[in-house]
Amino acid sequence: MLLLVSPINHEEAIESIKGGADIVDVKNPKEGSLGANFPWVIKDIRSITPNDKLVSATLGDVPYKPGTVSLAAMGAQTSGADYIKVGLYGTKNYEEACEVMTNVVKTIKSQNSDNIVVAAGYADAHRIDSVSPLEIPKIAKDSACDLAMLDTAIKDGKSLFDYLSLKDLEKFSKESHNYGLKVAFAGSIKKDQLKDLNDIDCDVVGVRGAACIDGDRNTGKIHHSAVKELKELCNSF
């Protein structure tokens, strides 16, 4: 299981790399769960990240505007991101989500077929009137994405496990793998939940708060010691 850590700036990216993160995920929590950071931040973090590690960039908690989101995807790609994450926030159903993701995939793959496109849904989708989290695997498959992901939209202390049971997550994982997709889970994941995710064949686990010294994704700062502990746990399973 790969460890994805989400820094917001140069300093946090260095801490993430030093701690052994497999994927350095550039985001901006001020703009939401999957808030987008600036192109120059992505470029800077790509420049300091070893070539054997992937750099991920979130496009934001996106609206149902396929053209706008496709342009954002190309912006992240040309800034150096290998791994393009789309938070399907403003899409209310399968059809809208598929339309957004199909156009993002077309945009990204036409430039570099090796780049990874991620369809990210929200375990608490009912709180934001978004597409159901359990539809994400089919959306990812039908739009030719590479990875299906779940996170939480509203960061108020509740985690992925407050909305979906381990059985639900296992179903999500199995369906995604049956479609030939990789699977990622995030959403205030704690270190004592990593083994459960590993046991249901999660491919990538995403963290920010757990990699911060005080455990707070908004006010805390990522530190290499916390990242190292998480990475060692992932390697121990």
Question: Which residue among 18, 27, 174, 221 is the active-site one?
Answer: 27
What count of other Cβ atoms lies within 10 Å of the Cβ of residue 99? 16
Examine the residue annotation and report whether 182 is marked as an active-site residue of this protein: no
DSSP secondary structure letters along 95-153: HHHHHHHHHHHHHHHHH-TTSEEEEEEETTGGGTT---GGGHHHHHHHTT-SEEEEE-S
What count of other Cβ atoms lies within 10 Å of the Cβ of residue 57? 29
Task: Return d(Cα 140, Cα 148) in angstroms, integer.
Answer: 6
Task: Return d(Cα 153, Cα 130) in angstroms, integer.
Answer: 10
Task: Return d(Cα 73, Cα 70) in angstroms, integer.
Answer: 5
Task: Return d(Cα 124, Cα 164) in angstroms, integer.
Answer: 9
Task: Return d(Cα 234, Cα 44) in angstroms, integer.
Answer: 27
Examine the residue annotation and report whether 27 is marked as an active-site residue of this protein: yes
Dihedral of alpha carbons 92, 159, 178, 107, sign = positive
> How far is it between the farthest Cα atoms of the chain?
43
Question: Which residue among 30, 85, 158, 182 is the active-site one?
Answer: 85
| Radius of gyration, CA atoms only, the chain | 16
- Which residues are known catalytic residues? 27, 85
